Amino acid sequence: MKYMNFDPQIHDAQKIATLKYNVDFRTYDRLFGSRQKAIASLVKSLKNDKTLRVIYDGEDIIGILNACNYYNQQRIHFITLKLFIVEIMDHFVICNIEKDDIYIGEIAIDENHRSKGYGTRVINDVIDHARKKGYKRVILDADFRNPKAKALYERLGFKVYRKKSFLGRGMYNMEYVIS
CATH number for the domain that contains residue 85: 3.40.630.30
* SS3 assignment for 90-140: HHHHCCCCCCCEEEEEEEEECHHHCCCCHHHHHHHHHHHHHHHHCCCEEEE
**φ, ψ for residue 162, nearest 5 deg:** -165, 150
pLDDT at 107: 95
Sign of CA dihedral 145, 115, 136, 99: negative
Question: How much of the chain, in percent, has pLDDT values that exceed 70?
Answer: 96
Q: How many domains does the chain have?
A: 1
69-127 pLDDT tens trace = 887 766 555 567 777 777 777 778 788 899 999 999 999 999 999 999 999 999 999 99
Query: CA–CA separation, 95 vs 80, rounded Å?
Result: 23
Q: How many CB atoms are located within 10 Å of the residue 71 CB?
A: 7
Please state the rounded mean pLDDT for residues 152-174. 93
Domain that holds residue 28: 2-177
* More confident of the two residues 92 and 35: 35
Mean pLDDT of the chain: 90
The pLDDT value given to residue 74: 63
Q: Place 3 in a pLDDT band, splitting at 50, 70 and 90.
A: very high
